[in-house]
Chain A
Amino acid sequence: MSDRGDNGGKEGADAPSLEERATHSGSKIGDRRVRIIRPAAGEFRRRGGHYVATPRVDAAQSRLGRVAEGARRILFGARLTSEEEAGERLSKKTGLAILASDNISSSAYATEEAMRVLAIAGSAALALTMPIAIAVCVVLAVVILSESRVIRAYPNGGGSYIVAKDNHGVIPGLIAASALLIDYVLTVAVSSAAGVAAISSFVPAVHDHRVLWSLALIALLTVGNLRGIREAGVIFAAPTYVYVLSLLGLIGYGLFRIVSGDVPVAVIPRDAFEPTGLEMLTPLIVLRAFASGSVGLTGSEAIANGVPNFKPPESRNAVITLVSMGTIFGTLFLGLTYLATHIGIVPDQSELETVNSMLTRSLVGDGTPFYYLVQLSTAIILLLAANTGFSGFPRLASVLADDRFMPRQFAFRGERLAFSFGIIALALMSAAVLAAFHGSVTELVPLYTIGVFAAFTLSQSGLVRRWWRLRNPGWRLSVFINSFGTLVTGTVLVVVVYTKFFYGAWMVLLVMPILVGLLFAINRHYRTVHDALLLERPDEPIPVLKPPVVLAEFVPRNWWEWILHSQTALRLKLSLLFRPNTIVIDIPYHTEDTGHGVTPRGPEDSPQ
């Protein structure tokens, strides 16, 4: 019946308390007992020296409120307390599924995007897809090597914003942050569009309404994230591994058929590119194809950002997961590219069917269960990849809000402990971008890679400065690796900007400085307000020059009765709010229904 209080006690209560203590004498001497009276029992629970409100406090009182609460609970789930935030760490297997789905899913469209550019120069130019894929994989290897250094330097999670801000200063940090924010918006838009493209490959009717379908996917992800699905490891793990295994099976089967001399006949799309091509094959087209193919590098920074989420030893597990991610992506990308070019798949101009769908149909036949498995798992992993944006954007926005570069609301956690404001903002922006680009992956991809490579380049060069400054053991090797990483990612950035400028990249280059300016302006506002609110001396009087204004405000019983009253008090409050140094005292005057009219129920001294 008891606990033995032997952890050491504190005599007297210095901290605010919600309880009273009454001493009662016992039947025998020495049997005194202290009764702890908890008037707020059930509404507040003690948690490590402070009190936490229980769900009862937030429970709706009115019938309408209970109905709304029930609907909200069905849609978004029950409220969570801060202590319920999942402390569950990720294993390597789950971490790979959750943090690497964005990068691995890029294999669903990276080959196609490179082929689309080359196809402009005719079918013969498609032979260059494989060398381009190899070049992209080399860049990926460099990025992974460099990112492993980020993990080593920032075991608490080193997003490009933090790395760039720490080592280059605020403005480069903000450039990296704005690049990442844009990238997250595009991740959601591109992945949703690519997911719908995977479905429309076998349900052509979906293609006519692909924008609506993509918007529906974004809405689904928004609701899921507001519920807090980020932590649901199993939901992520299964589809990611199904996708990887089914594509590995497809590649293995395709290679077997090629080796055994049974090369399948390529499926011809309805709207194939002209075999003779529309333009001459120029170095610019090759570079553009490389820039489009490097879309496969997106999402590779997610693991370095999420190091603290791994089980100990965090850094080692994160590096192993990072290398596994690169290996899986490289295998899928090279395998699919080899098969597509060897069999002779030509992309569909109208984007009605994806290259992967045509490749799968060529190998296993149309309408076979394996074909549907590949297409469905592709659609699902792309949906999960879009979710990476939902996990990254709100987290980065909250870090920026904590640093006072974004509105405070972005740091606020909702009832399900998700950064609700960031999630909704991301959903609205990605939906707008998706609608503006007609749900086309090809139209969106030119915008996509700039942010990624800008952030990579800034964080890699930031690390070079860090290693140079700290000169820890092995710093020379680290400087070499990250310098090489800066050079490679910087070169890719220049190539992407140069080759895709007129295809939409200019928009990102325009938006990025505007966003940096906006973040900076927000910070300046917060700093100004902070300075204005700061008392220079502790004894400095608060400037109150005008006498206080007392407002007695009539509060109707039901919310809808507001419209029957003139709202004079409300209007007075609003106008007085902007009057400097004015104290406004508001006395609410509540009423209750008597059946015939209303009777005042307080305050006691209120006029009749």
Chain B
Amino acid sequence: MQLKRILVPLAGTSVDPEVLRVAIALGKPAKAEIVAIHVIEVRWNLPLDAILESESERGEGVLDDAVKVAEQSGAHIDTELVQAREAAAAIVDTARDRKSDLIVLGMPFRKRLGRVYVGKTVQGVYVGAHCAVLAYRQEETR
């Protein structure tokens, strides 16, 4: 499989640097274009284009950190900051518009009621994505 375009959704969790490095390693052979995306979910009581200062500031920070991680790995990435009602739908649609070959999702290791918890965004992307989806779950020990 020739990976030309990889989309990496980032939520600002501890798994972000790892998942980005995985995506960079996967994209390196074919010099794939890597895009890191952060989605700000906007509540329904606000307009979709509402200016959310603190969320935007945090999102920019997540993406700027991703650029630094990529630079440390000797790679260049593009970034995209998006506001949407549902993160999963925005990721799937962005992947479609950008003609991505792969979405690499990061999953922080979390347990709920004794079971590993998979968030609704990961589930939504799994179900809705047109392209391949790779979920990278953080190690249990972390």
A-B contact pairs, 18 of them (CB 8 A): A2-B38, A2-B121, A3-B12, A9-B46, A9-B51, A10-B50, A11-B51, A31-B93, A33-B39, A34-B49, A36-B56, A36-B81, A38-B60, A41-B60, A41-B63, A42-B67, A48-B53, A48-B57
How far in angstroms is the closest Cβ of chain A from B135? 12
How far in angstroms is the closest Cβ of chain B from A244? 44
- Tell me, in angstroms, the Cα distance from A1 to B11 when the chains sit together: 4
Which of B51, B89, B96 has the largest count of A CB atoms less than 10 A from its CB? B51
Which residues of chain B come closer than 8 Å to A45, judged between CB atoms? 57, 60-61, 64
A596 within 8 A of B: no
Annotate B31-48 by CB proximity to A: 1 below 8 A, 0 otherwise. 000000111111100111
Query: Chain A: which residue is nearest B10 at the CB level?
Result: A1
- Tell me, in angstroms, the Cα distance from A7 to B53 when the chains sit together: 9
Q: Which of A6, A12, A28 contacts B43 (CB 8 A)?
A: A6
Query: Chain A: which residue is nearest B63 at the CB level?
Result: A41
B49 A3 Cβ-Cβ under 8 A: no
B18 within 8 A of A: no
Which residues of chain B come closer than 8 Å to A8, judged between CB atoms? 46
Query: Chain B: which residue is nearest A47 at the CB level?
Result: B57
A13 within 8 A of B: yes
Q: Which of B40, B47, B61, B93 contacts A2 (CB 8 A)?
A: B40
- Tell me, in angstroms, the Cα distance from A8 to B54 when the chains sit together: 10
Which residues of chain A come closer than 8 Å to B139, judged between CB atoms? none
Interface-side segment among A19-27, A380-388, A535-543? A19-27
The 10 A-B pairs of least Cβ separation, nearest first, read A9-B50, A2-B87, A1-B9, A33-B84, A5-B52, A34-B83, A31-B89, A36-B81, A2-B39, A3-B55
Which residues of chain A come closer than 8 Å to B85, judged between CB atoms? 30-32
Which residues of chain B come closer than 8 Å to A21, judged between CB atoms? 49
Which residues of chain A come closer than 8 Å to B52, judged between CB atoms? 3, 5, 7, 9
| Given contacts A1-B87, A3-B59, A48-B53, A32 and B48 within 8 Å (CB-CB) | yes
A580 within 8 A of B: no
A4 within 8 A of B: yes
- Tell me, in angstroms, the Cα distance from A41 to B66 when the chains sit together: 12
Annotate A59-98 by CB proximity to B: 1 below 8 A, 0 otherwise. 0000000000000000000000000000000000000000
Measuring CB to CB, which residues of chain A are less than 8 angstroms from any residue of chain B?
1-13, 21, 23-24, 26-28, 30-36, 38, 41-42, 45-49
Which residues of chain A come closer than 8 Å to B67, judged between CB atoms? 42
A3 B41 Cβ-Cβ under 8 A: yes
Which residues of chain B come closer than 8 Å to A41, judged between CB atoms? 60, 63-64, 79
- Tell me, in angstroms, the Cα distance from A90 to B91 when the chains sit together: 47
How far in angstroms is the closest Cβ of chain B from A111? 56
A5 B40 Cβ-Cβ under 8 A: yes
B94 within 8 A of A: yes
Annotate B95-123 by CB proximity to A: 1 below 8 A, 0 otherwise. 01100000001000000000000000100
- Tell me, in angstroms, the Cα distance from A49 to B121 when the chains sit together: 29
A1 B91 Cβ-Cβ under 8 A: yes
Query: Chain B: which residue is nearest A8 at the CB level?
Result: B46
Measuring CB to CB, which residues of chain B are less than 8 angstroms from any residue of chain A?
9-12, 37-43, 46-61, 63-64, 67, 79-94, 96-97, 105, 121
How far in angstroms is the closest Cβ of chain A from B119? 9
B56 A46 Cβ-Cβ under 8 A: yes
Q: Which of A5, A12, A31 contacts B55 (CB 8 A)?
A: A5
B53 A46 Cβ-Cβ under 8 A: yes
B84 A7 Cβ-Cβ under 8 A: no
Which residues of chain B come closer than 8 Å to A11, judged between CB atoms? 46-47, 49-51
- Tell me, in angstroms, the Cα distance from A49 to B82 when the chains sit together: 18
- Tell me, in angstroms, the Cα distance from A11 to B47 when the chains sit together: 7
Q: Which of B37, B50, B56 contacts A1 (CB 8 A)?
A: B37
B43 A5 Cβ-Cβ under 8 A: yes
Query: Chain A: which residue is nearest B59 at the CB level?
Result: A3
How far in angstroms is the closest Cβ of chain A from B47? 5
| Given contacts A23-B48, A26-B89, A31 and B37 within 8 Å (CB-CB) | no
Which residues of chain B come closer than 8 Å to A9, judged between CB atoms? 42, 46-47, 50-52
Which residues of chain A come closer than 8 Å to B86, judged between CB atoms? 31
| Given contacts A3-B55, A11-B47, A36 and B83 within 8 Å (CB-CB) | yes
